[in-house]
Structure 1
């Protein structure tokens, strides 16, 4: 009886490999796009949760609670509270002591929560904070400050502050319009890709909301990042 050998011919194998290569060429960019979008969306959601938690803690503790940049150390703990150079590394919430001096003191002030956004030299998320009116127009820093810090007060109100290398600066101003947080992919460079992978978070005096793809209002329009004004942690300024 004759043995019948079963298997692929060389031509069939080459055709199969070619088809798989084509499918991978189509799938991998789409997968990379999805992963980048999810990473950005997750970062935006973490910041939104910090804002919601900060408001509730201010009411519970009956003390001002601040949300400001921190450096996240290798052990995961925050360091360098409210320093401008740490913008983009992480964010921390802390409750100010009764002196309310707006300066974090380890022995007197109460740390509440911290999140990591980026490691130095490994920027996955690029972010910037804008002050905009209800029509989406920019609110000049002359009306107050370029917002870098949010202060949640026990009465439920929110004030915005600036920041420098020494800490929180100036007088806190109420939010007139929105504080607009923009996040995008830290690895991308092309404007269209940055826009496509972005997430926008709006903070008003009373609520926190996201701009979804169906929202065509001016306040939800993407604002280009000036990469030359981004620091080593991906924190950017206009």
Structure 2
């Protein structure tokens, strides 16, 4: 496609490459383009926006630097897939995990509130400045038996589209995995004994052991979410297999 020099000069204003980046970023963050989706080829973006390859390349380069897309030589650009923390521990979708066991999945939203982050929220998320969060408590069941309870914070500054999500219909973990790319995650595994509240939520005895997984996820050093998952200790275990170097 040939373009006049005057048209190129008009199209390649700094605001145009930002518009291209914002348009693509919006499609990624809203889930319209999920992880693994192929971004239109450069010549397609040039035709769509009426600009030069240099303008398109600048927008795609910034998206790659933000870890939203990955560029593959001769193959094109793709929405970046989550990179697991390690080959042993990965972020699992509890709904998919229960279904894979051949059991019926059940979900109950206990509480979902949107609020200004308080000091405890900021400490948990590892952020300093005041912002808004969504605080979610929910329960996952397998064959109508409590499987896990979840206590989650989502940073709305990093994930503004979460404000429009229907967490009464879709579990927050499933929604995040399918809509929000992440680049780094951290698991902390511990054990506790169930207090009255936990025992009631998991339908176990007070004082029974519970497996605890605390997880944080980030995208380009920006916190996405912090979640605590509690499992009945007598029915869950973690297994890891290692190979020597």
Q: TM-score, normalised by structure 2?
A: 0.28
Normalised TM-score (structure 1): 0.29
> Which protein has the larger Cα radius of gyration, Structure 1 or Structure 2?
1
